[in-house]
Amino acid sequence: MSISGDLKRELPILMTLMCLIVPALQFCAPESCYEETVSQVKAGFYQTGTGNIVTADTVSLYGLEMVSTPVYNKSADLTGISFPLDPSTESCTYVFIINGITDTVTFRYSSFPHLISKECGYSMFHTLDSYNSTRNLIDTIIIRNRNITIPYEENIRIFF
Amino acid sequence: MKRISGYSFKVALCLWLLSLAAAGQDTIDVPLRLGAGAALYSPVAAVAGLYPRGAEINGFYDFNERITLAADGGFSSFIHENYNYRYENDGFYLRMGADYNLLNPLLARGRYYAGISLRYGLSLFSQKVPSIEYENYWGDYLTSGESSFHAAHFLEASPGIRAEIFNNFFIGWSVNVRLLVFSGTGKHLRAVDIPGFGNGSKPFSSGFNYYLSVRIPYRTKRVIYIKPVRETEGEETNPDRQTSGIGR
């Protein structure tokens, strides 16, 4: 390290000044939340017998006694759907209308809080235990992943 | 044969010493210090109404002219309120490690420091989430997280500078980069803040701090600084100019 005589004399002054002068502060603006915060059950549609992915012509979905606020309202050409569970109870019931045929499915689960990040706060995750379903169109439901979280990984397969 | 090898060794030693003399060397007495100080960020944050609030004290011991052994200890209190939750924690932390002065002893002279610090940190804290608000298709849901006690481990690297302002009184600042090794909270109710570390919801944390310290010399070490001379024909050697040096 080559130091001239002048710089050697100035170095103590420079270092003292650097210690006394307030350094450039990091940005203090609060960060925003850009992540998804609502957990949902991810359900895929499959054909009974072949196990192939199937496309439903029309899908309507709403919570029991919540027909005025559907999650899906006659949505067309869907191979899968996603819907949230009620964190205030240990079970909730959905009404599925697939290709005009109505089925009612009750899910049972446990719920717990999960920190997304400091900026986003907490979400409610679930562990899916079991289900009950009518069998007007739906043949069976297979639980593939009991952990109901935010990443879009398939949780259940609905066969009809 | 024994006599010849002994004679050869003495000749080689003399030649080496002569080469040192020809290269030029400085001898400097560097004071080795020990002392204590305090970090300023937490008390200033308390006055400014920011979190985390607390206090931190530091202890130092110069191992040699380059390396300082150091330990930091403190406590902090943290409250964070968002539109959908409130988080609180209190705890203590301890960081231990060493500072390495990148300035050569001829420049530093035991008074100036520009280098990097490495620390291992341990944090013991309790946290609770008095309110969590969650909204989805089914409506608004209110819940809370119970108080729990945890121990976290982390590593820290801190480049910084320090200078003696007046007799044995030092001021300095550093930029801190920390890596969370183990949070102790599990993967769901992670800590929003970890005392001594920072944002516990992320694996890395960064920040800066100011320090005041008193460092008393406990002994003096003689350091030999060797100045290699560039042997170019016709070039005069400037005794004030060092091209490189090794402090021993």
Classify residue B239: in a domain, yes or no: no
Classify residue B38: in a domain, yes or no: yes
Q: Considering its fold, how many domains does chain B have in total? A: 1
The CA-based angle B248-B58-B128, given to 5 degrees, is 140
In this predicted model, what pLDDT tens digit does every residue of A89-116 receive, in sequence order? 999 999 999 999 999 999 999 999 999 9
pTM for the model? 0.76
Q: Among all chains, which residue has been given the structure tokens 């989805």?
A: B136
Q: Among all chains, which residue has been given the structure tokens 């013991």?
A: B124
Classify residue B1: in a domain, yes or no: no
What's the CATH number where B55 sits?
Answer: 2.40.160
User: Distance (Å) from the C-alpha of residue B94 to the closest C-alpha of chain A?
Assistant: 24
Classify residue B142: in a domain, yes or no: yes
ipTM reported for the complex, 2 dp: 0.80
Backbone phi and psi for residue B120, each to the nearest 5 degrees, phi listed first: -110, 135
User: Distance (Å) from the C-alpha of residue B91 to the closest C-alpha of chain A?
Assistant: 18
Using CA atoms, how far apart are residues B206 and A26, in angstroms rounded to an integer?
10
Classify residue B112: in a domain, yes or no: yes
Question: In whole angstroms, what separates CA B127 from the centre of its chain?
Answer: 27
- Identify which of B147, B177, B71, B86 has the alpha carbon closest to the alpha carbon of residue A121: B86
In this predicted structure, the answer to whether residue B52 has a pLDDT above a threshold of 90 is no
Are the Cβ atoms of B189 and A113 closer than 8 angstroms? yes
In this predicted model, what pLDDT tens digit does every residue of B108-158 receive, in sequence order? 888 999 999 999 999 999 999 999 999 999 999 999 988 999 999 999 999
Classify residue B11: in a domain, yes or no: no
In this predicted structure, the answer to whether residue A143 has a pLDDT above a threshold of 70 is yes
Candidate from B132, B162, B241 with C-beta closest to A2: B241
Classify residue B123: in a domain, yes or no: yes
Are the Cβ atoms of A71 and B137 closer than 8 angstroms? yes
- Give the B window 16-35 contacts with A, CB below 8 Å: none
Classify residue B197: in a domain, yes or no: yes
Regarding beta strands A41-46 and A156-159, do their DSSP bridges make them parallel or antiparallel, or are they unpaired? parallel
For residue B29, give Cα distances in angstroms to A63, B64, B105, B181, B219: 81, 12, 9, 41, 10
Range of the domain at B222: 26-226
Using CA atoms, how far apart are residues B214 and B132, in angstroms rounded to an integer?
45
Question: What average pLDDT does the structure give for chain A?
Answer: 86
